[in-house]
Amino acid sequence: MAHDSPHEHHVSQSEYLSGEQILPHRVTPNMTVAELIDTQFQAYNAARLNEAARLYVEEMLAPENDVTIGMTLAGALTPAGLGGCLITLMEYGFVDFIISTGANLYHDMHYALAMAMHRGDFRLDDTKLQEEGVIRIYDILFADKARARRQHLDARSTGGRQRDNRDRASCYAQWCDYPGRRQPQKLLLADTATIVGSAGHPERWT
């Protein structure tokens, strides 16, 4: 058990209670996100998010600090439709580069090829889904033909030859449109809004 050093400063009650007072602020119409965080995120993990938001805005985004901001992604975010949020963060300079798992890039290609994702139910029977040619990612459903169509396009791009797996990652990177803050041509996530306009026309991707 740790003991206080006799030379340590004794903290008084008033010092312990010197933090900002927590008040039950009302949520109002037209409240900004900043106001919501400042007035409602006062304790527990919400207070840590408040601190992180302040650090991000006041230090990381401050132009005079010239901070390069990276974002790491894991899990199936793009099939859930969050690719648009990521693109917006890049376009407005909140993120400079992204490091992502291959799954996010793979599923982002579904949007690029106009292959629909659908809301479903996580309690569905996977055996029955497989029989009907449906793939499930928790509560996201999409047709199994998406895999076959992507393989067909992949075969077309190689003239029917088997592609060396070592070239696969760079191939997908070449299909992506890369807007960013300091180097607008470099973004490690496909600009879905741009690529969807070329869906079904692989010749436009080069």
* 53-83 burial code (b ≥16 CB/10 A, e <16): eeeeeeeeeeeeeeeeeebebeebbbbeeeb
Task: Reply yes or no on domain 70-205 having CATH 3.30.360.10.
Answer: no
| pLDDT(136) > 70 | yes
Helices (H) and strands (E) in the chain, counts: 9, 5
Tell me what pLDDT residue 112 has: 85
**Residue 89 CA: distances (Å) to CA of 42, 69, 71, 83, 187:** 26, 11, 10, 10, 11
Query: Could you report the per-residue pLDDT of 161-203, keeping only the tens digit for each?
Result: 554 444 433 333 333 444 443 443 333 444 444 333 333 333 4
pLDDT band at 71 (very low <50, low <70, confident <90, very high): very high
- Mean pLDDT of all residues in the chain? 78
Mean pLDDT of the region 3-25: 86
Q: Is the model more confident about 11 or about 179?
A: 11
User: What are the start and end residues of each CATH 3.40.910.10 domain in the chain?
Assistant: 70-205
The answer to whether 152 touches 202, Cβ cutoff 8 Å, is no
Query: Could you report the per-residue pLDDT of 76-110, keeping only the tens digit for each?
Result: 899 999 999 999 999 988 999 999 999 898 888 88
Neighbours of 141 (CB within 10 A): 19
Mean pLDDT of the region 99-122: 90
pLDDT band at 150 (very low <50, low <70, confident <90, very high): low
Half-sphere exposure of 132 (CA within 13 A, CB side): 12
Q: How far is CA 132 from the centre of its chain?
A: 30
Going by C-alpha positions, the residue among 56, 77, 69, 50 that lies closest to residue 138 is: 77
pLDDT band at 147 (very low <50, low <70, confident <90, very high): low
Q: Is the model more confident about 155 or about 196?
A: 155
Fill in the DSSP letter of residue 11: P
Q: Is the model more confident about 68 or about 1?
A: 68
Pairing assessment for the beta strands 118-119 and 140-143 based on DSSP bridges: antiparallel
The answer to whether 104 touches 85, Cβ cutoff 8 Å, is no
SS3 160: coil
The answer to whether 155 touches 71, Cβ cutoff 8 Å, is no
Query: Could you report the per-residue pLDDT of 48-58, keeping only the tens digit for each?
Result: 999 999 999 99
The answer to whether 141 touches 134, Cβ cutoff 8 Å, is yes
Mean pLDDT of the region 62-74: 92
Cβ-Cβ contacts under 8 Å for 145 (sequence gap 6 or more):
133
